Amino acid sequence: MASFPDTLQWHELGPFTIFDMETTGLSPSRDRIVELAAIRIDRDGVETRFQSLVNPGRRIPPAATRIHHITDDMVAVAPTFRTMIPEFMTLARDSTLVAHNARFDLGFLQEGLSRSGYELWKGNTMDTLKLTRTAFAGLPSYSLQSLRGSLQLPDIDGEAHRAGADVEWTLHLLRKTLSALLARSR
């Protein structure tokens, strides 16, 4: 394992753009994004936030609404993915994209970019699910909601399974995980 200086802070390994999304279902090819939130952490620790509901251009299935509580009325006047995504991509430029269970979120991001005629994300990515399994082996569950309790992530405003709240918890998880891994490598 690499050795890092004692003074190195986790965010100096960035910049990172932590992101989370809520969707109409589980299939990137069949379903659509209904909410996207992100927090960019620059190397100096400065945080920039982004959040938007997204009009999926179709009805949100009741099963999805039961999970994230986003309704058709809430997204009726929201921007489409095509009009919202340039702002997110500008925020994420030259950073490492970070998500919890990143395969899910990246699949929807890439599918949405392709469908909208934008260039695919070709930058670095990081998965806090994999990092947490490395840093804190042996936990009973690695779901974000379970990790909130087992790793004592701070309480925040917002409800679980909404992109804004989940991205805040993922930020705290990334901070805790990278700090633990850095401490081990010194």
Q: Is 161 a catalytic residue?
A: yes
Q: C-alpha 6: how far from its chain's center?
A: 28
Helical H segments across 49-162, by residue range: 62-68, 72-75, 81-92, 102-115, 128-135, 144-150
Q: What values do phi and psi take at 18, rounded to 5? A: -85, 130
Nearest to 174 by CA among 48, 15, 34: 15
Question: What residues act catalytically?
Answer: 161
